[in-house]
Chain A
């Protein structure tokens, strides 16, 4: 618990970053990220873009699964919907500040449709419904060639703002960074509104929530819609970053990846989503570096890289679930508490 923080107005108490220390750290972090193209290598820049995309998608899934308690296995497919929407709109010359929100809204509408079974079923039945929706959507990606280009995939023209092309990693980085920042703040604020509290109420005890006047169906559909909106925007940014995509990218493993990021990071917390996405994105890279480094002594390791990734991935999920169910956010909070209360014990 932080000491020495005294608020004099309600407005000051409700601020997201309410102490000078927090504000200064936040400013430093934002400046560091903003100037990343200057001090970072190209590799770091590309990784930062990918992390940004994953952060947005994980934020969305954390709202659906962490805040509202609705297990969604179709998140990977929603990313695909956003990506293909942006591809199709951009080919028709729509600028990026319209395609990205449009992708978000289209995916949100689809999220509402996928969430409709929650009218009748709960919990694991709903999870399997989202699984079914995932497979149907990926089937559509492969077969609807007029819009998605079928199995060979499609290309996405570069985003442009009044003729200024957002090409190259640097400019896409700023686009992704701006979107990720805005959406993270939005997600944080969501927790303080009626809608956010309704989500938590529905997750914890939905019968009580209904008695209190929360419209269950609308709340659940809204949870799916908001999560899908985030996934759609993330998918659109993915399209702008890669320039071309195929339906092979949006497999069930992607949905499981995001679910793992949510769990490893911590269900229901924005910081958890960011940490989880960062961790899950950097993990394959770490493994690759480790395999590369040890290939001098064990030459056969390089071929085992992809299966080893899966094994480590699964092991991580299980280790985190058994040992630290509240995820990286809880570990971070514990470290912070130790520093705040030092030299006293926590």
Chain B
């Protein structure tokens, strides 16, 4: 029984970081309608910038973190201007392939510059573990969850209560009306990309600090697709709830069925969800009678 509780707790806590990556994806989908396959690679690039800052240049961790956030923000702006704006009228396949192309470029560039080895960048958070009787929770897992929860709470407040946040939501739901009302669509979409990149960087640095940094980090983001589909492609709350559920299911599967099933169980969940409830738990239901 305590095994179940331990797996569940670990799963829920690791779901927090999955929620950050899912947030990064959903921000873009909600804001610009683009399915961004490069989420994992941006995450990885942010983590590598942080590593370069702390280890190669010897900066203090927080300064390197701030620097990597800035660089990823600049990259997001550059990408949005050069790749996504020219493609804004094209079909979904075209834009999807463009993001896949971006992912490939970033992945290749990272491997070319830093190689394929695994590094351990220093952590930003304390490492002391937490014990509840028999259950041991590593400090990094708990720390990651706390950071993720705080960040997501901040985002939810941002979207609800600040003018910029409401402007972003308006652009997301109806760009034409938002433009008529005087909101600058270009800036809004650019800001959405920047925010998504920043959230991805935070997630990347957290994962890299706890699990090690290598080009395989980007593959971790593929598991997020299960969470996104479960929650609904365009719902932030859905992404969070679904990430916790997916994290929990993954931990239980890894614990009871063995580590190999850990990668495949989320995808079985995705297929089941798509057959039973295609738009996820919280996604907007577009009524289609086929």
Contact = CB atoms under 8 A, between A and B. Distances in A.
A321 B108 contact: no
B83 A314 contact: no
Nearest to A305: B112
A267 interface: yes
B35 interface: yes
Interface stretch (A12-20, A78-86, A93-101, A256-264): A256-264
Given A124-B233, A267-B93, A307 B112 contact: yes
A125 B102 contact: no
A256 B104 contact: yes
A123 interface: yes
A310 B98 contact: no
B263 interface: yes
B111 A139 contact: no
What DSSP secondary structure best describes chain A's contact surface? helix
Interface string A310-326: 11111111100110010
Interface stretch (B134-142, B191-199, B271-279): B271-279
Interface in A61-104: 65, 69, 71
Contact of A314 (B102, B233, B264, B270): B102
B172 to A, nearest CB: 16
A279 interface: no
Interface residues of A, number: 50
Interface residues of B, number: 43
B86 interface: yes
Contacts of A139: 260, 263-264
B93 A322 contact: no
Interface stretch (A130-138, A172-180, A289-297): A130-138
A136 to B, nearest CB: 5
B98 A318 contact: yes
A314 B105 contact: yes
Nearest to B283: A125
A166 interface: no
Interface stretch (A113-121, A152-160, A236-244): A113-121
A74 to B, nearest CB: 11
Given A143-B260, A256-B104, A310 B111 contact: yes
Contacts of A135: 222, 263-264, 267
A220 to B, nearest CB: 9
B35 A259 contact: no
Contacts of B94: 263, 321, 325
Interface of A: 65, 69, 71, 116-117, 119-125, 127-129, 131-133, 135-136, 139, 142-143, 206, 210, 216-217, 252, 256, 259-260, 263, 267, 304, 306-318, 321-322, 325
16 contacts: A71-B93, A117-B271, A120-B274, A120-B275, A125-B274, A125-B278, A128-B270, A132-B226, A135-B222, A260-B101, A263-B94, A311-B109, A314-B101, A314-B105, A314-B108, A325-B94
- Across the A-B interface, give the 4 residue pairs with the lowest CB-CB distance, nearest first: A310-B108, A314-B104, A317-B101, A314-B105
